[in-house]
Structure 1
Amino acid sequence: MQTRVKLWPMNAELGLRERKKLERRAAIESAALDLFEEHGFDSTTTEQIAARADIAPRTFFLYFPTKEDVVLADYAQRLDRIVEELGSRPADESPWDALRASLLVVASDYEHERSALIRRFSIMTTNPSVFARSLALQAGWEDTLSAVIAERIGSGHDDGGITARLLASAALAAMRSAIQHWVISGHHEALPDLLTSCFDQLAHGLAEVR
């Protein structure tokens, strides 16, 4: 199945050279995802991906360090999107509400890119090396968001950053749970609605669940 993957930077004026780079990156992603689905992740080589994308084998590594990173190619942009949204939230808004609003924006992005997300998720969950790489990247998300939230909280919580990290990790856990349920259940509910439900449950506390 021939597909196209497009993930352009948000709110950016792109020159011709940058557009060409993004188009080539998208072509590599599309070629890789198609081949992973056709032949399996482990059986697909970077040389095969390069041939399908009509590039030299060495060019692949100018864009992606590993095959795993092709599957998870949108992670960096998603994190940038969350950080951007957090930076735009009102200063007097609570960190939890700011995280909630920012992640709901990304959930809406995912909703509009449903087919691509489902393809990536399917490959990730059925290949241990991709799943392990995703966990490493998610840990990076937690580090970044913890730092952003710590700065937002300021010196009022001199607890070594544990409050900021707890907020970030809980918010990301809500996001992961919502996405997993959304994909596994056949995405009958809107992802933003599922994420809202997850945030509500965390906000009200899970201790009373029996």
Structure 2
Amino acid sequence: MPHEHNHGHCGEECHDHDIPEAQGHRDNLYTHIDRDNVVALNAENGNGPEVVKPWHERLDEEVYLESDADDQMVIRIPFTGSVKLRALLLKVGPGEQTPAKVSLVTQFGNIDHLDFNEISERKPTQEFNVPQGREIGEYHVMAAKFPAATSITLFFPASQGADTTRVYYVGFLGQWTARKTEPVITVYESRANPADHPKIKGIHGAMQMP
């Protein structure tokens, strides 16, 4: 079975070691992903949720997304609450179908539906080079950049030489917090009640309503 590992190229937040089996369950965010609203753009054989798999299916290569018109792909992944992200998990490839890099664009609050033009013009929250390999890649993010994300969009701008890009598995590690919503109570006044408003003296001493 392939070994999962971190990639030393992804910055100070990364460490080179195997991913413990238990770690995938301890802070894996799979159950907090809103899978019904995951969206993939330029995917030939799926809509997006196919690659958001539970931990025990992470090595499955029968189900995947492959780009269609060219080698670019966008996958937008909303959460059911706020997420303090620790790491991105990816299984991609094989070979030249591996994306050259992955850009993470974070959204807070209202979710933007980013298309290719918008996401290519927006500065990524963080991005990583992606090495070729059949294992699960763990990409540690800078936690300060992902304190309370409600949605993360992954942008794969190009393959490593193939006409298409292929993605088998997308996962996240981190901490989830339920979304806090408080009801907004608004009282509308159908007709002004004179007793509720202060009276103001007019220029001749008469009492006038404001």
With structure 1 as the length reference, what TM-score do the two structures score?
0.27
Larger radius of gyration, structure 1 or 2? 2
With structure 2 as the length reference, what TM-score do the two structures score?
0.27
Between the two structures, name the one with larger relative contact order (CA 8 Å, sep ≥ 6): 2
More strand by share: 2
